[in-house]
Amino acid sequence: MALCRSTWLSTLFNKAPTIAASAFSRCNFAALIAFSCLYIMKSTEELSGIAQQVRRDIVRMVHAVNSGHPGGSLGCTDYFVALYFHILNHRPDGFDMNGHGEDLFFLSNGHISPVWYSVLARSGYFPVSELATFRKLDTRLQGHPTTHEGLPGIRVASGSLGQGLSVALGAAQAKKLNGDPSIVYTLHGDGEIQEGQIWEAAMYAAHHKIDNIISTIDVNGQQIDGPTEKVMSLGNLRAKWEAFGWTVCEMEGNDMAEVLKGLTHAKSLTGQGKPIMILMTTSMGKGVDFMEGTPKWHGVAPNDAELANALGQLTETLGDY
């Protein structure tokens, strides 16, 4: 089944017959270098400041509609900020679905859309003011990301857990076929790893030596019904992924310097014949003390008093929308 899904997705992203012939042309390579030079990387301090604002956006978005998933969003904020403001080679103001010549990101645990929408807006994919439409009727910012509304930055619908890795592997293979040296990134929840499709995709990736993908699991030990250890133990994740043929790294996900170091190290491991998995330790609800370390805030919005409490803990660094 993984073969079928990934092949279909390869076809979706693949323009191989026309693109492969020109992929390594001097023109494309020069454009890639120029783009990389134009992209300005930010300091750890600047990134931490952006993360403060993104966490404000998350709790305000979810509070405004009394709906959404703040816990995982807050826990993964540092990862998203590091990725979009420092690691990715991407084109926020020139978004297209193919993404040829740029790195791609696929969110597999789509329910943590608040953090993704905030980071996409704050990095220039769409107006920051549009965050105020989150989960409202006819919005482009659906509770779970979809492509139907045409929101820049979203290349596949997500939310049905377990599918994102297959999608990303198709895209990663297409990049190889097209001679595109860019990297494909994915993020998954740890509860999501209980899905069978994940392990089909894991086998597929190693078999096909897809070494231009960097996947990350948000290891917060929590899922909607409680601790992962009680719902269905994940066992030794490092040993499992290594047994499936992946290179495995570990990273502290709520320390910006460590996230930058971890992602940069993972990048250095691409192109060596094996897919790469980062086991990222985070605290669900990170940044808001009463939301931290509990599954209670997996999919619950703060009330007015709780919002005020949360905002009191988070600095407004870029201006609220």
- Judged by the rule CB under 5 A, the positions of this chain that interact with Mg ion are 189-191, 220, 222-223
Identify each DSSP E strand in the chain by its residue range.
Answer: 104-107, 184-189, 213-219, 222-223, 226-227, 247-252, 276-281
150: its two tokens: 């045409």
From the CB of 189, what's the least distance to Mg ion, in Å?
Answer: 4
Phi/psi-derived region of residue 157, left when phi > 0, alpha when psi is between -120 and 50, beta in every other case: beta
9 or 284: CB nearest Mg ion:
284
183: its two tokens: 């990297």
Which residue in this structure is represented by tokens 């803990």?
313
From the CB of 187, what's the least distance to Mg ion, in Å?
Answer: 11
Three-state SS letters, 53-96: HHHHHHHHHHHHHCCCCHHHHHHCHHHHHHHHHHHCCCCHHHCC
CB-neighbour burial class of residue 17 (10 A; exposed 0-12, middle 13-18, buried 19+): exposed
Which residue in this structure is represented by tokens 């297959």?
166
48 or 223: CB nearest Mg ion:
223
212 or 281: CB nearest Mg ion:
281
161 or 174: CB nearest Mg ion:
161
191 or 287: CB nearest Mg ion:
191
101 or 189: CB nearest Mg ion:
189
From the CB of 228, what's the least distance to Mg ion, in Å?
Answer: 6
223 or 283: CB nearest Mg ion:
223
C-alpha span between 205 and 20 (Å, rounded): 21
From the CB of 52, what's the least distance to Mg ion, in Å?
Answer: 23
From the CB of 63, what's the least distance to Mg ion, in Å?
Answer: 22
C-alpha span between 122 and 211 (Å, rounded): 30
From the CB of 280, what's the least distance to Mg ion, in Å?
Answer: 11
Phi and psi, residue 191, nearest 5°: -60, -30
From the CB of 68, what's the least distance to Mg ion, in Å?
Answer: 16
- 268: helix, strand or coil: helix
